[in-house]
Amino acid sequence: MYAQMVKSENTDSGPELDAFQARIDAGEKIEPKDWMPAGYRKTLIRQISQHAHSEIVGQLPEGNWITRAPTLERKAILLAKVQDEAGHGLYLYCAAETLGVSRDELTEMLLDGRMKYSSIFNYPTLTWADIGAIGWLVDGAAIMNQVPLQRTSYGPYARAMVRICKEESFHQRQGYDIMMKMAQGSEAQKRMAQDALNRYWYPSLMMFGPSDKESVHSAQSMKWRIKINSNDELRQKFVDQTVPQAEYLGLTVPDDNLRLNPETGHYEFSEPDWTEFFEVLNGNGPCNKERLEARNKAWDDGQWVRDGMMAHARKKAARAAASKVAAE
């Protein structure tokens, strides 16, 4: 997902921990000033900031098409969508900051590669149809994960998720709208739509992360209610929901093994190539280098603006203080 393979830490024990777990089991929200195990705090910082970084880096593949959107209306819509992603990143950074880290620290950890973002944003957007596929599939997969996270145990995280979910459904619909237009268009447009689905299908399935049946991290995170469903559960739900949407578009999901099991009512499907997933996660995807370079450049190029505005604010405050003294 936007937070993939988040390692969970469990180093605490004792009566405080039991009381903490009892609160979570009772469905209570944990708030910033409440006692929490160090492992809970660390895991959450990792998970929330990975999610925030994904929102920020996620602006890049779509930003690629803002200047080349086919109509002025599409351009305005895409601009609003990319602006939302920036907003989502900010909601999440502010949730992470309540745990005792600063946004600049988190940004620096992204920029020097100590922190990760979702694998999906390391794929290129080659055609306009990719913008449709991203909204439909990538935001669709994100929604699967984010809707349950509105009930996560950490208050600020849950509240950020509520805001994000409200806006996310616009994203998915605008993507599907693009796909509908393309799929009903000329032969060339249909081919473009099919090609986008072909390239984004498996990377979208990878977003949920590898099967976590035997993962210790998942078990701990689920106990803390910072992960609500298993990766496989969410992936299945995504496939079940998405296949009929592809059929409606008249497009073919690129999987020869895809079939509806009439007994379970669920689709059976091929696993994505997990070797590719780990390669992308470890920095060897098609766009990893480009994405990090773009973020580093934005950060470095913006330094004088951040400094200048801070200097201006200080000067203004000093001037106000001086005139107050003079008036007295």
Partner 1 sequence: MSDQNTNPRTEWPLWEIFIRGQHGMSHRHVGSLHAPDAEMAIKNARDVYTRRNEGVSIWVVEAEKITASSPSDKGPMYEPSQSKVYRHPTFFDIPDDVGAM
Query: Which residues of the chain form contacts with partner 1 (CB under 8 A)?
Result: 31, 33-35, 80, 83-84, 87, 90-91, 94-95, 97, 102-104, 159-160, 163, 167, 306-307, 309-314, 316-318
Q: Is residue 101 within a helix (H) or strand (E), and if so which, with residue range?
A: none
User: Alpha helix (H) ranges present in the chain?
Assistant: 15-25, 38-57, 59-63, 72-97, 103-111, 128-133, 139-149, 155-183, 187-206, 216-223, 231-249, 274-279, 288-301, 303-327
Residue 108 or residue 273: which is nearer to partner 1 going by CB?
Answer: 108
Residue 64 or residue 98: which is nearer to partner 1 going by CB?
Answer: 98
Q: How far is the CB of 150 from partner 1 (least distance, A)?
A: 15
Residue 260 or residue 321: which is nearer to partner 1 going by CB?
Answer: 321
Residue 188 or residue 305: which is nearer to partner 1 going by CB?
Answer: 305
Q: How far is the CB of 1 from partner 1 (least distance, A)?
A: 22
Burial class (CB in 10 A: 0-12, 13-18, 19+), 113: exposed
Q: How far is the CB of 276 from partner 1 (least distance, A)?
A: 35
Residue 30 or residue 183: which is nearer to partner 1 going by CB?
Answer: 30
Give the integer Cα–Cα distance in Å for 53 and 110: 7
- Cα–Cα distance list, 166 to 169, 172, 226 (Å): 7, 11, 20
State the amino acid at position 303 in one-letter form. Answer: Q
Q: How far is the CB of 168 from partner 1 (least distance, A)?
A: 13
Q: Is 119 helix (H, G, I), strand (E, B) or coil?
A: helix
Q: Is 207 helix (H, G, I), strand (E, B) or coil?
A: coil
Closest among 152, 135, 134 to 95, alpha carbons compared = 152
Q: How far is the CB of 229 from partner 1 (least distance, A)?
A: 26
Q: How far is the CB of 25 from partner 1 (least distance, A)?
A: 18
Give the integer Cα–Cα distance in Å for 202 and 98: 35
Residue 83 or residue 323: which is nearer to partner 1 going by CB?
Answer: 83
Q: How far is the CB of 74 from partner 1 (least distance, A)?
A: 19
CA atoms within 13 A on the CB side of 125: 23
Report the DSSP beta bridge partners of residue 267. 260
Residue 137 or residue 161: which is nearer to partner 1 going by CB?
Answer: 161
